[in-house]
Amino acid sequence: MFVLLNVLLVSCASPKVYAPIYNQHNKGRLAAAKSHSVRAGDTLYSIAWQTGHDYHQLAKWNNISWPYTIYQGQTIKLTVRKSSKANPKKEKTYIKQKITKKSFKSYQKKVKLSWQWPIKVRKIERGAIKTGVVLLGRPGDLIRSSEAGKVVYAGSGLKGYGNLLIIMHNNEFLTAYGYNKRLLVKEGSVVKRGQAIAEIGADNRQRQVLFFEIRQHGKAVSVVKYLPNIRG
């Protein structure tokens, strides 16, 4: 009993929660799913990210228009069946919420992307989530947006990413920043290139790390293809 009590006391005394470096969800199962029931905190962008789809595609399949508002309990189709009927039944259209950033859509068309690294990178590694990279940084590093854009997801609802931010830069590109200790911006915020958006987190080896990913039309692309060469 004495040994057990000591173990319990030690476990309760440790306040640190490290970044979940290992992706515990089954990507194959998610990609094969035919629908997704919207949970609290979900956005169309986070569902698209988690299932490997382009958010434009999901919006079209589910008859969801700008600003892509979805509701808890709503069923999002992840596949579409071709119908031979001449006049297929129209699906219900959900009412849009008021847009707070009316100029963002026109901004998307004008912006010319010029990427920067979100931290001063010490080393790049492949993590368990194969679609992105793990960037090793330093204690106290602030994560900065690689380009200007709008935060379309901010939270910890996607397993394997920890505290995650997804930023939409234009109609083609999204970036993701995971394993953060703390988020500094909220969902819906419009951010500038180089703006501090989060604090770097730690992995189970107590290294300061950031999960980083770029997607184009819903598909992951090589980050080194778009970002400047890292100088030693």
Question: 13-27, 56-70, 116-130: lowest mean pLDDT where?
Answer: 13-27
Compare 178 and 130 and report the one with higher pLDDT: 178
Query: Quick check: bond before 20 cis, omega within 30?
Result: no
Residues 118-134: what's their mean pLDDT?
Answer: 84
Lowest-pLDDT choice from 55-64, 66-75, 139-148, 218-227: 66-75
Encode pLDDT of 65-74 as tens digits: 877 888 888 8
Phi, psi of 120 (to 5 degrees): -80, 110
Domain boundaries, the chain: 115-226
In our burial notation (b when 16+ CB lie closer than 10 A, e otherwise), range 191-221 reads bebebebbbbbbbeeebbbbbbbbbeebebe
Higher pLDDT, 97 or 148: 148
Superfamily classification of domain 115-226: Glucose Permease (Domain IIA) (2.70.70.10)
pLDDT of residue 1: 45
Q: What's the CA gap between 181 and 164, in Å, rounded?
A: 10
Find out whether 222 and 133 touch, Cβ atoms under 8 Å: no
Maximum pairwise Cα distance, the chain: 75
Instruction: Inform me whether the pLDDT recorded for 224 exceeds 60.
Output: yes
What dihedral angle (degrees, nearest 10) is formed by the CA atoms of 185, 189, 195, 199?
Answer: 20
63 within 8 A of 50, measured Cβ to Cβ:
no
**Residue 98 in this model has a pLDDT that exceeds 80:** no
| Residue 30 pLDDT class (50, 70, 90 cuts) | low
pLDDT at position 19, please?
53
The pLDDT, as a whole number, for residue 74 is 87
Predicted local distance difference test score (pLDDT) of residue 87? 52
Q: Which residue's structure tokens are 């709503």? A: 74
Angle made by CA atoms 127, 131, 136, in degrees to the nearest 5: 40
The pLDDT of 35-46, averaged and rounded, is 86
From residue 17, give the alpha-carbon distance in Å to each of 73, 82, 158: 30, 46, 16
pLDDT of residue 31: 53
Q: Please answer whether residues 52 and 89 qualify as being in contact, where contact means their C-beta atoms are separated by less than 8 angstroms.
A: no
Q: Measure the CA–CA gap between 119 and 191, rounded to whole angstroms.
A: 16
pLDDT at 15: 42
Question: In terms of residues, how long is the chain?
Answer: 232
| Residue 159 pLDDT | 84
